[in-house]
Structure 1
């Protein structure tokens, strides 16, 4: 054998072996979670202003998932579901203070993420991942519940929403942390101007994320970045460069800055030549908050209602998966999928077996993402408020077992208001039970949930016959976790954020609430 042929064979073997090593290496994982961003806020999903060029390009280079859902129409429960792979009713992020009550604000959180839960960064440590969260945590504000106690190695951001909690004087007490050290507050050191909406916080979050990516790339270290910016949560904010630039007002300014930031993250991956070894997923925690008003809320596209509701506008989210060389560019997949799937999918990509000592609600989407198959098409989507199963989707059909509206008759007639949200001249809301005869919609023909099927029709009976066993099986096997979001007497709680003494930023405790404390275990 000639030296040239031998050299060629050696090169071929080395290239093949190198490729196997690359394929065997776990990818970096980046989850980009927006706050109250609606399905209809992306140009690729029909937003007329077309002000998301980077997200639209991300979809063109990856996979768009139009049937992607959150696990709850509110911030805290949906984030708990993402990081545990479990419905909030299982992991404890719900309330028993009232029927189907959407408890979620920091004032209502007695506890935090349970120590019994195993979060995604804790699992990824098994393969040596370094993990960082940038932005909003919202899984408990007291020291024992913060990110570094739950598997994350680094954190820059806030433990809760930037509109609360408030002290007795009405001033927001929102700490910002760099790892375990409090470094300031939103409305003081980090200069969120509630009148103009100007703040550089998104730019700070962007730089934190980019610095983390560069450091791990230089060290050739597998990493998990959970980038959870909150600029589109009312009161919305943007830096001076973007203020007044959108056709959509201040909310649009925030979307434009987030789109720019996500573009910077993807371009940095390319500049570091690690785009082919990095799985990136973009989505939102829940639908656009329509109650925030026209200048501070997004668009849920063709879907009914928004945040806080279990109609499509509250729980169907924009979603894009991006991984050059692994996820086929320009694909659209209509697989029914859920934010909890990111837990199981990330573990699968990392080569880690999921926990076998608990029920997981997330499914492995790698066959869908990497092979564009729809092998999981028949999986159900559960819609919860609190600990109440409100609705279920199976295939194209969605059955509502509970709705809330001022008048079900008016709702059926298409009156132009969102059930469960404020209506001028009406002060009370009615919860309506449909247990025996649920409202069923065909979401393919009727994505806006305007025309319920006739209960006398053959189509209704056929859909119900397939949905009912799924609901019965789910309820029979469900083991609810201990509620973490029950209202409590706030005066007895320790509200002082860790490290506030050093900065002299410990504000007064909030006023008492009428609720009796029900301390979680």
Structure 2
């Protein structure tokens, strides 16, 4: 509300005045604070600094002018959940288990029906930061599983305010309750109920609530002189898009632009808060997004991926290249643009380096420590891998990107009006069946052709030289790849079909009153839960009673 905004601004001014007289406050310089700001479905082209003309991001543009901008920064997957798992583990989804074995699957995330989640075998960033005395908080969207042992407080976070899932809904509570919102381990309400989202107008105060939670956390940790890690993961730009009343109707891009304006304002308030408390030089801040803009959601419900092809859910540049800004006054040279190829996985290794900690040595970490880049703008040679499920779809080495498989979305979806590449179809590239190019990859020069429209002729020397370089990288990668156990097959209908015959032959099979099928498999001491009801209208086949998820019950 306007009163809340006024209060925040007054507090920032008050703290600025106090800090003028409190110059001798002890500093956390040996253990800098860390803030990772992760947007949801925000595109590369949504920021003014990347060419967006609608002027919705003055604070982010200012952040870039005061820090380092990364035009070549990537997510680890074109969907929400796997990219978030990679950010917090520093590992590709195919390694950390946050993937599906069906390369055509769109369901490689954690909807309400999912049984899986982040594996206990994975080591998350906050778990390591604890060794140095960091207090860790996540605000906003978790999306790494919603069973009790998957939630943030079980994986290194000391505090949590937010939801385990996306803000889809509202739902009929008799079939599927609305998504819960938590304050630490206590459920404090649900989306569309205690935490309102008006789907007609788009009005919701959630972003302001998340902002106030963040400012409060920063203030209290600073007062206690404890180093902190804040993972601020607001989801206002994920459809259905929302913004608070103060911002609705204020942008030139409809409701989506309004949400961007409010998020930009929130980032500006957090940076101003750090300055007011006198800890801006002791706090490393990184801003990015989990995947490309969801262009299939429509013009007022989705953002811009700039000059790049397609969007969320695809392994074209529009699905995986992200806006990215690093900010750390006194440490990162202001106004720097780095051409370093970066990924969200680098935030794991870089944050640990900032904290004076090492990455785990008992597993392969894909994320790089970008400290040399941040301090000296040194370039580190590294490839970018574009995965969909357990299929390596493409690889980037230098300016060259080779597609081994291409696919946008299925004909079935396309014929229903769902288009991941609206107005951008490229013949032989944005295919609606998965096309294999492993014998002769499609290679693009992303410097000359960022839109991936004109593949390099296979008969040219340029193609052969690029293919030779990329092939060596791919062979090395595949040789050292040990896939993790897939955690997301339990809501992938295509994969679950593979288990039907096993369940029918060797294990229990029964029908509910409405003839919806469920089967449960028990393999020795390990239970494989297979809930074949991935249809919202289907009745539950027994339940384990955790949160709002209907699971089959082991018999």
TM bucket (normalised to shorter chain) is 0.7 to 0.9
1:36 to 20, 32, 41: 41
1:9 aligned residue: none
Displacement of 1:168: 7.7
- Which whole-Å CA distance do the structure 2 matches of 1:357 and 1:109 have between them? 29
Asked if structure 2 preserves the Cα contact closer than 8 Å seen for 1:30 and 1:281, the reply is: yes
- Which whole-Å CA distance do the structure 2 matches of 1:162 and 1:23 have between them? 36
Evaluate the alpha carbon distance shift between residue 87 and residue 222 of structure 1 in structure 2; reply closer, same or farther with a 3 A threshold.
same
Evaluate the alpha carbon distance shift between residue 278 and residue 245 of structure 1 in structure 2; reply closer, same or farther with a 3 A threshold.
same
1:153 aligned residue: 158
Evaluate the alpha carbon distance shift between residue 86 and residue 494 of structure 1 in structure 2; reply closer, same or farther with a 3 A threshold.
farther
- Which whole-Å CA distance do the structure 2 matches of 1:24 and 1:107 have between them? 42
- Which whole-Å CA distance do the structure 2 matches of 1:475 and 1:165 have between them? 43
1:16 aligned residue: none
Asked if 1:301 is matched to 2:319, the reply is: no
1:12 aligned residue: none
Q: 1:183-218: CA deviations, max 9, x gaps?
A: 000101011111111000100000000000000011
2:65 to 57, 60, 85: 60
Asked if structure 2 preserves the Cα contact closer than 8 Å seen for 1:404 and 1:419, the reply is: no
2:481 aligned residue: 478
Displacement of 1:26: 1.5
- Which whole-Å CA distance do the structure 2 matches of 1:192 and 1:101 have between them? 26
- Which whole-Å CA distance do the structure 2 matches of 1:341 and 1:459 have between them? 30
Evaluate the alpha carbon distance shift between residue 494 and residue 359 of structure 1 in structure 2; reply closer, same or farther with a 3 A threshold.
farther
Asked if structure 2 preserves the Cα contact closer than 8 Å seen for 1:85 and 1:342, the reply is: yes
2:55 aligned residue: 50
Asked if structure 1 preserves the Cα contact closer than 8 Å seen for 2:28 and 2:227, the reply is: no
Query: Which of 262-271 and 158-167 deviates more?
Result: 158-167
1:163 aligned residue: 168
Asked if structure 1 preserves the Cα contact closer than 8 Å seen for 2:110 and 2:145, the reply is: no
1:80 aligned residue: 85
1:416 aligned residue: 423
Asked if 1:114 is matched to 2:123, the reply is: no
Q: 1:268-300: CA deviations, max 9, x gaps?
A: 000000000000000000000011111100000
Asked if 1:396 is matched to 2:399, the reply is: yes
- Which whole-Å CA distance do the structure 1 matches of 2:461 and 2:158 have between them? 55
- Which whole-Å CA distance do the structure 1 matches of 2:183 and 2:65 have between them? 35
- Which whole-Å CA distance do the structure 2 matches of 1:69 and 1:475 have between them? 20
Any stretches of 5+ residues in structure 2 without a counterpart? 1-23, 412-420, 492-529, 534-539
Displacement of 1:24: 5.8
- Which whole-Å CA distance do the structure 2 matches of 1:274 and 1:83 have between them? 24
Q: 1:33-58: CA deviations, max 9, x gaps?
A: 00000000000100010110000000
Asked if 1:453 is matched to 2:456, the reply is: yes
Displacement of 1:416: 3.3
Instruction: Say which SS state the counterpart of residue 284 (structure 2) adopts.
Output: strand
How many residue pairs match? The answer is: 474
Asked if 1:264 is matched to 2:266, the reply is: no
Instruction: Say which SS state the counterpart of residue 434 (structure 2) adopts.
Output: strand
2:334 aligned residue: 329
- Which whole-Å CA distance do the structure 2 matches of 1:182 and 1:42 have between them? 35
Instruction: Say which SS state the counterpart of residue 210 (structure 2) adopts.
Output: helix
Evaluate the alpha carbon distance shift between residue 152 and residue 462 of structure 1 in structure 2; reply closer, same or farther with a 3 A threshold.
same
Displacement of 1:86: 0.3
Asked if structure 1 preserves the Cα contact closer than 8 Å seen for 2:68 and 2:334, the reply is: yes
Evaluate the alpha carbon distance shift between residue 333 and residue 153 of structure 1 in structure 2; reply closer, same or farther with a 3 A threshold.
same
Any stretches of 5+ residues in structure 1 without a counterpart? 1-18, 409-413, 499-505
1:193 aligned residue: 198
TM-score (norm 2): 0.81
- Which whole-Å CA distance do the structure 2 matches of 1:191 and 1:272 have between them? 32
Evaluate the alpha carbon distance shift between residue 57 and residue 312 of structure 1 in structure 2; reply closer, same or farther with a 3 A threshold.
same
Q: 1:465-490: CA deviations, max 9, x gaps?
A: 00001111111210111111112415
Q: 1:312-343: CA deviations, max 9, x gaps?
A: 00000000000000000000001001000000
Evaluate the alpha carbon distance shift between residue 494 and residue 106 of structure 1 in structure 2; reply closer, same or farther with a 3 A threshold.
farther
Instruction: Say which SS state the counterpart of residue 264 (structure 1) adopts.
Output: helix
- Which whole-Å CA distance do the structure 2 matches of 1:365 and 1:311 have between them? 24
